[in-house]
Structure formats: C-alpha cells, structure tokens
Amino acid sequence: MLNNVKKYVLGSKEDVGYTVSNQATPINQYVLRLADVYLIYAEATIGAGASTADAAAVGYYNAIRTRAGLSTKTSITYEEVFNERRVEFGMEGINWFDIKRRFYREGYTIGPWFMLNGALRNYQYALIDQGSDALERNTMAAYQLQAPTTPVEPTVEKMFLPVPAQEILSNKLLAPSVESVEYVFDN
C-alpha cells in the first residue's frame, strides 16, 4: 500500500554518492527507452489516420506486447497505441506530452478532455494522525484523500504554451501578431 516508485533513477547511494529515493536524485539522467521509439514509430505510421496494418509498425507494437506477455495484433489503431503508451510509461511523467499531442490531433471536444476532466488532479493522501506508529502508516486506514486547495481545470487556453520571449526577439516572425504560413518542403 502507498508504495513509492523508482524509475529512471540508476544506482544506489553507494553508486552515486547521494541518497536516492523515489524519483529524487541530484543526478539528472535521461533515458530514452526502446519501447518509446517503437511506439513513436507506430503512432507516426498511423499519422492522421485511424489505424494501420503496416508490418513494421505492427511488429514494433507487438514487440512491446510480447515482452509483457500479451497477445499480438495484426493491425493497430491510434487508440491502442495511445493506451499502450499510457500503460508502458506509467508513472514516468510523459503521459502529459501524449495528451497534448492528442489534443493537437483531435481538439477540445474529444480525446484527452475525457481523461483530464474526470481526473482527481493534485489530490494527495495525507496521514490522518501524525502520531501513529510505523505499522499503522502502512494501512489505508491511516490516510485520507485531500482535495487540492487550488484546483486546476484544463481549458483550451492552457493547452497552448506561448513562444518564449527570447525566441521572438531572435526571430520576429514567431511573434503572436504575425500570421503563420505553411512551410513548404523542397526536395
């Protein structure tokens, strides 16, 4: 109960010279997982479509499922790739980027809004009695779910981040007042 997760933190205190607990370490170690590359490939192959039977994309998708002991598929949908990413990278902090990508793909009325609007964002479990002994702290009865004091509600405006001011100073064409133009790729 109330377990902590340690992912992407490599080594122990003896290895790195610092206390390592949960996701907290003074060493910033970035890890790009092969599963992430495989699922990005599958998502890119689907593109703006709904599904694909592309052998390479399905093969990469199935490689992840096979490793996890799950059944393979002969075709995959965008929804399946999105859900596979959510499960594969659970508690790794990248789901927000997937939700934002999905927002850009599907917009405000569908997709990530169902997940965001129904989530208990920023809720925390807190000890009911700070004086309870260690054994009681390992039971759900010792904790209560507390609502955030300043809840955040997702809106369309919060899905878009402004271009940093320094970038606008470097390139005036990035200013919000300048109309965007389609980029034409020359071969």
Q: Is 137 a domain residue?
A: yes
The b-or-e profile of 139-174 (16+ CB within 10 A means b, else e) is eeebbeeeeeeeeeebeeeebeeeeeeeebeeeeee
Which of these, 45, 38, 41, 44, lies nearest to 65 by C-alpha position?
38
Domain count across the chain: 1
Q: Is 89 a domain residue?
A: no
Task: Please give the pLDDT value at position 1.
Answer: 40
* Partners of 21 in beta bridges: 24
Is residue 57 within 8 Å of residue 76, measured between CB atoms? yes
Q: Domain limits at 126?
A: 121-149
Q: Is 161 a domain residue?
A: no
Q: Is 91 a domain residue?
A: no
Is residue 86 within 8 Å of residue 95, measured between CB atoms? yes
Q: Is 144 a domain residue?
A: yes
Q: Is 114 a domain residue?
A: no
Q: Is 126 a domain residue?
A: yes
pTM: 0.62
List pLDDT tens digits, range 74-116. 999 999 999 999 999 887 778 888 887 887 777 655 555 656 6
Task: Please give the pLDDT value at position 74.
Answer: 97
Q: What is the DSSP string of 34-87?
A: HHHHHHHHHHHHHTTSSEE--HHHHHHHHHHHHHTTPPP-SSEEHHHHHHHHHH
Q: Is 62 a domain residue?
A: no
Is residue 94 within 8 Å of residue 74, measured between CB atoms? no
